[in-house]
A and B are shown apart, each in its own frame.
Chain A
Amino acid sequence: MALTEVRPPLELTAGDEPLRKPLGAFTRPTSSQGWRSWITTVDHKKIGIMYGATAMAFFALGGLEALLIRAQLAQPNGQVLDPQVYNQMFTMHGTTMIFLVIMPMLAAFSNYLIPLMIGARDVAFPRLNALSYWIFLFGGLFLYSSFVLGGPPDSGWFNYAPQSGVVHSPGHGIDYWTLGLQITGIASLLGAVNLIVTCLNMRAPGMTLLRMPVFVWMALVAQFLLLFAIPVITVALFLLMFDRLFGANFFNVSAGADPLLWQHLFWIFGHPEVYILILPAFGIVSEVIPTFARKPLFGYPFMVFSGIAIGFMGWGVWVHHMFASGVGPVSVAAFALTTMFIAVPTGVKIFNWIGTLWKGKLQFTTAMMFAVGLVSQFTIGGLSGVMHSVAPHDTQQTDTYFIVAHFHYVLFGGSMFGIFAGMYYWWPKIFGYKLSERIGKKNFWLMFVGFNLTFAPMHIVGLQGMPRRTATYPEGMGWDLMNLLETIGAFIIAVSFLVWIYNVVASRKNPHAGADPWDARTLEWGTSSPPPVHNFDVEPTAEHLDEWWHVKYDEDEQGRPVRRQSYTFYSDVDEASKARGGRAPEVDTSSIHLPSPSYWPVVIALALPLIGYGLIYTYWLAGIGGLLLFAGVYGLGLEPSVDPEAGHDDHAADGHPDPDPDTETGTELVDAEVGAPGGAGASKEETP
């Protein structure tokens, strides 16, 4: 009964689609065109694009917040922002960039690319994937709605107790923060489960784990980190939420709590989080550099195992965020050691990328420039990271601009450069045309100069004693010039971002780039651009690492690649792509079944912010949200992943015989069974 009571107006089902037998509360959507198809899609490629577009929109917001921060700090005794607003800006800047930009941006790449790179039709659980995206989107919007509903959080992205408690932060900002991040955390967890299963179970025949592209490996390690780190932050957020909304005493010092509990929970999540943010970017440049060096990645096994090593060691370094917190000399010594030695696998990566460049034939496309930019700039962040491990001196560095410089070299010079490299590299695969290289190079150089001008001087002012998270600073501290330069640099970054937007808009008229414009190495370049909805007309098989390269190239006696006279794409590609010997496969694609679109992910996702508002303002709203959530989960659970009706119609239209409807509804409830071209078991035999 609950289903009918909370059924929203039927506008979602209105439109020109013919009404079919309703399943649950909604008629099953069928369209694959138009805006409605984006809302109901379960296609990993569309979901990837939506993740990317949403993340870049949040990037613009987080960037605006950064510009306000820099405007305030351009001069001593700045008057641009009220201190309260300044605190809100740096809180939302950090929260946005981490949770709403870099994480979803890497989710975008992982979503779009993992199935293509491992030769699968989709992720293991396509509807769960849609659910992840919508939950992330509504979680982000919920957090940002605090701007118009009483003010955003203002105690930093780390929200240390007891400053984050209701006594010291009485507004609702931090309630939005705890609830918003719990919501986006659900999205991350669902995504992690989904992508882990995809990587492990859906690889094309022959693609052993050690034939997986490095990007897939790094994304996989990052998903495992998410799987274990998100529950920790969720516990912390949950406790804080109970303190704030229900008067619990987890962080109430006067009731005997130790505020360091929060710090431990936060950083046990927070440090693996750093690797969640950087490892997929490492994966991106590990694809980009070999392509444009026209050489295989130097030391693939070292790259894979160093990534795994970072994933493990990342759990053992969190106390280096707390060297001044009073954890005692034994803890400090132990975590100083682990912090030093996590630099080893990271260094291996840098050296191996340089080994890949060495004696290559480097083609400096924009993607390559950003990728080499990452290698160069991340090194700086890595070196300052080693300086933190000198724990006694870290008490001079922590909470200063030296740290701000360090993690921006990691997260901007690392993650964001990697993300831009990835966007320029895969844009022609995703949209069919390249972003302009001419504009792209302006984009890169502006960003490179702006980035260094913004963040390099922060090393200096940090060591000169300028603390972070300060809304103002007096004259005469020797920080004036550096801060002015940082502000100028920040605005150059903003110009660079506008150049990127201009590039996105202006490049839409660029000619079709072909299926494989960079003569690249991995499977996704063997299908058409953009790929068909089912990704591959024929199922790829992997006999090598860099399988697509080996499809195109043979080796001569000296081991040099020689292009084959003839090879076969995995899909029917454009004519230009066939010019150098590529053929389209001869295959009938009409029997490929994909999961049908669904409204339920949006319904479930919509329920979560309702519960959030309800907990903050009035419980009956949470009740409505709870019912909606219940209805949505029920609806999603009862809905077959493939609409039996849709299947029949398609076949009828194509003139193919109907498959047996009984077997179809009986077996295709499990998404994974239809997603894998070779079936879930196909790759198992080859797994080492």
Chain B
Amino acid sequence: MADLAPPVSNRDAKRPMGAWRKPTVVALVMALVLTGCASDAPQSALDPAGPYARTLDGLFNPVMWVATAVFVLVQGVIVYSVFKWRRRAGDDDDAMPAQLHGNTKLEIGWTILPALVLALVAIFTIPVIFELHAKPADALEVSVTGAKYWWGYTYGTQPEFGITQADGIVTANELHIPAEQTVLLRLTSPDVIHSFWAPRLNGKADVVPGREHTWLLEADKPGVYSGQCGEFCGTSHANMRLKVVAHDQAGWDDWVERMQRVPLEPVTGSAARGFQLFAQKGCSGCHQVDGAYETVAPNSPAAPNLTHLFSRDCFAGCIYDLNDRNEMEAWLRNPQRKAGSLMVVGALSEQEIDDLYAYLETLE
């Protein structure tokens, strides 16, 4: 033992310091984890705001704790081994450790034990898969269209929710729902696969062309819940955001009432010129306005219904603030400010933009 060459020991003496770095890093990462969770994240799946999201979270949390326990155990044993069994300065290189080839009982044990833990996870998980697939009878039904790069919502006639108009309610990007009410979404796409996702209310469900998928939402309380498209859908996938607005009963009634009013056709001034421009500039080729422009051009790309545009807070996939006039004017000047946008406008003069804006403002 004593006759090991001394030059090696010099380098070995440094090792403990080097090896200490690992726990330091782990501690640093843990600190980051804690600060990360503490920060304000409005779209966080860790902060469920409805029964479905809470069910998911309730399945995830115990698994997270089990995983944390396994993590601590495994990393603990690794770190322990690294320190305990590390070759030290002055060790005799020829003195061999016991040549252990294995231990069948132990190995069978650590095959079966994780299997049992996983079986336990399965017992809790599998029934929930089927529960979440059941369709409640008294749900508000909304047809959701995911299209490049915005969301459309159609509420069919449902008198029990105050929707009496024959062709229901059509809106975009902001999904309005009553709080404490199960909502059944029927998801379809005219182009590529999208995924509807409002993390605080439920997980995501793919919106697949040629198929109709159903998905459930429910919010505990009135509020605005952020979400966005979860499946890559092209250039502007990141800009296909959405909001779910949950109302109390009075708020819901107001909204439904407002959405069933047909806007009046403006007859004078800037808004009336805008009304004409809406057709002349081709807007009405894609965008519908109830009572005025109800027929779009054949083969036009899917575009939001603008009947109640100014009842909303955001537009263009919910990435621009509709309450900021500059945002809408910039959009009319150049819809390509949102890369990949399918909206096409010819060159508009500033006067024409003002007129169009004046008309759009009447659509509330």
B45 adjacent to chain A (CB < 8 Å): yes
A387's partner among B63, B82, B192 (CB-CB below 8 A) is B63
Q: Which of A343-396 contact B (CB under 8 A)?
A: 343-345, 347-348, 350-352, 354-355, 357-364, 372, 375-376, 379-380, 383-384, 386-387, 389-396
Per-position 1/0 for B92-108, Cβ under 8 A of A? 00111111111110110
A193 adjacent to chain B (CB < 8 Å): no
Interface stretch among B25-33, B157-165, B285-293, B345-353?
Answer: B25-33
Q: Are A376 and B78 touching (Cβ within 8 A)?
A: yes
Q: Which residues of B have CB within 8 Å of A474?
A: 241, 319
Q: Are A293 and B230 touching (Cβ within 8 A)?
A: no
Q: How far is the CB of B293 from chain A (nearest CB, A)?
A: 26
A200 adjacent to chain B (CB < 8 Å): no
B259 adjacent to chain A (CB < 8 Å): no
A666 adjacent to chain B (CB < 8 Å): no
Distance of A459 Cα from B227 Cα, bound (Å): 18
Distance of A426 Cα from B195 Cα, bound (Å): 46
Interface stretch among A47-55, A97-105, A329-337, A524-532?
Answer: A329-337
A300 adjacent to chain B (CB < 8 Å): yes
Task: Report if A343-B118 is in contact (Cβ < 8 Å); known contacts: A325-B206, A379-B71, A383-B67.
Answer: yes
> What's the tally of chain B residues with a CB closer than 8 Å to chain A?
102
B323 adjacent to chain A (CB < 8 Å): no
Per-position 1/0 for B13-35, Cβ under 8 A of A? 00100110110010001001101
A162 adjacent to chain B (CB < 8 Å): yes
Q: Which residues of A have CB within 8 Å of B101?
A: 296, 298-300
Task: Report if A473-B99 is in contact (Cβ < 8 Å); known contacts: A324-B203, A343-B114, A464-B46.
Answer: no
B340 adjacent to chain A (CB < 8 Å): yes
A341 adjacent to chain B (CB < 8 Å): yes
Q: Report the nearest A residue to B199, measured CB to CB.
A: A465
Task: Report if A333-B238 is in contact (Cβ < 8 Å); known contacts: A359-B100, A387-B64, A390-B59.
Answer: no
Q: Which residues of A have CB within 8 Å of B204?
A: 324, 395-396, 398-399
B129's partner among A260, A392, A398, A453 (CB-CB below 8 A) is A392
Distance of A379 Cα from B125 Cα, bound (Å): 22
Q: Which of A519-567 contact B (CB under 8 A)?
A: 555, 559-561, 563
Q: Are A481 and B230 touching (Cβ within 8 A)?
A: no
Task: Report if A394-B203 is in contact (Cβ < 8 Å); known contacts: A155-B232, A348-B107, A351-B110.
Answer: yes
Q: Are B33 and A456 touching (Cβ within 8 A)?
A: yes
Q: Are A340 and B96 touching (Cβ within 8 A)?
A: no
Q: Are B107 and A302 touching (Cβ within 8 A)?
A: yes
Task: Report if A392-B132 is in contact (Cβ < 8 Å); known contacts: A344-B118, A399-B230, A477-B42.
Answer: yes
Q: Report the contact-size class of chain A (Cβ under 8 Å from the partner).
A: 35 or more
Q: Are A168 and B192 touching (Cβ within 8 A)?
A: yes
Q: Which of A452-509 contact B (CB under 8 A)?
A: 452-453, 456-457, 459-461, 463-474, 476-479, 481-482, 485
Interface stretch among A81-89, A111-119, A644-652, A679-687?
Answer: A81-89
Q: Are A445 and B63 touching (Cβ within 8 A)?
A: no
Q: Are A360 and B85 touching (Cβ within 8 A)?
A: yes
B197's partner among A162, A363, A441, A467 (CB-CB below 8 A) is A467
Task: Report if A473-B191 is in contact (Cβ < 8 Å); known contacts: A341-B118, A359-B100, A390-B125.
Answer: no
Q: Which residues of B have CB within 8 Å of A358?
A: 81, 85, 100
Task: Report if A472-B239 is in contact (Cβ < 8 Å); known contacts: A329-B133, A362-B82, A399-B230.
Answer: yes
Q: Are A337 and B122 touching (Cβ within 8 A)?
A: yes
Per-position 1/0 for A306-346, Cβ under 8 A of B? 00000000000000000011101100110011001101110
A396's partner among B21, B199, B208 (CB-CB below 8 A) is B199
Q: Which residues of B have CB within 8 Å of A231?
A: none
Distance of A376 Cα from B23 Cα, bound (Å): 12
Q: How far is the CB of B358 from chain A (nearest CB, A)?
A: 29
Q: Which residues of A have CB within 8 Å of B42?
A: 476-478
A362's partner among B70, B86, B121, B233 (CB-CB below 8 A) is B86
Q: Are A163 and B230 touching (Cβ within 8 A)?
A: no
B271 adjacent to chain A (CB < 8 Å): no
B282 adjacent to chain A (CB < 8 Å): no
Q: Are A390 and B121 touching (Cβ within 8 A)?
A: yes
Per-position 1/0 for B304-325, Cβ under 8 A of A? 0000000000000001000000
Q: Which residues of A have CB within 8 Å of B45?
A: 396-397, 463-465
B77 adjacent to chain A (CB < 8 Å): yes
Q: Are A391 and B71 touching (Cβ within 8 A)?
A: no
Q: Are A467 and B133 touching (Cβ within 8 A)?
A: no
B270 adjacent to chain A (CB < 8 Å): no
Q: Are A467 and B78 touching (Cβ within 8 A)?
A: no
A258 adjacent to chain B (CB < 8 Å): yes
B145 adjacent to chain A (CB < 8 Å): no
Task: Please list 27 pairs of residues, one from A and one from B, whose beta carbons are closer than 8 Å in the complex, sorted by A's number.
Answer: A83-B238, A162-B192, A168-B191, A259-B209, A295-B97, A324-B203, A328-B133, A340-B122, A343-B114, A350-B74, A359-B85, A361-B85, A361-B97, A380-B71, A387-B60, A387-B64, A393-B60, A396-B204, A399-B204, A459-B33, A463-B44, A463-B45, A465-B197, A465-B227, A468-B232, A473-B238, A477-B42
Binding site for B on A (CB under 8 A): 82-84, 87, 154-156, 160, 162-163, 168, 253, 256-260, 293-296, 298-302, 324-326, 328-329, 332-333, 336-337, 340-341, 343-345, 347-348, 350-352, 354-355, 357-364, 372, 375-376, 379-380, 383-384, 386-387, 389-400, 441, 445, 448-449, 452-453, 456-457, 459-461, 463-474, 476-479, 481-482, 485, 555, 559-561, 563
Instruction: Please list the 5 inter-chain residue pairs (A to B) with the smallest Cβ-Cβ separation, ordered nearest first.
Output: A395-B203, A478-B41, A465-B43, A470-B238, A299-B102
> Given A302-B102, A357-B82, A393-B56, 12 other A-B contacts at CB below 8 A?
A87-B237, A160-B231, A293-B85, A344-B118, A362-B85, A383-B71, A395-B56, A395-B204, A460-B32, A466-B43, A474-B319, A563-B94
Binding site for A on B (CB under 8 A): 15, 18-19, 21-22, 25, 29, 32-33, 35-37, 39-46, 53, 55-57, 59-60, 63-64, 67, 70-71, 74-75, 77-78, 81-82, 85-87, 91, 94-104, 106-107, 110-111, 114-115, 118, 121-122, 125-126, 128-130, 132-133, 191-193, 195, 197, 199, 202-206, 208-211, 213, 226-239, 241, 319, 339-340
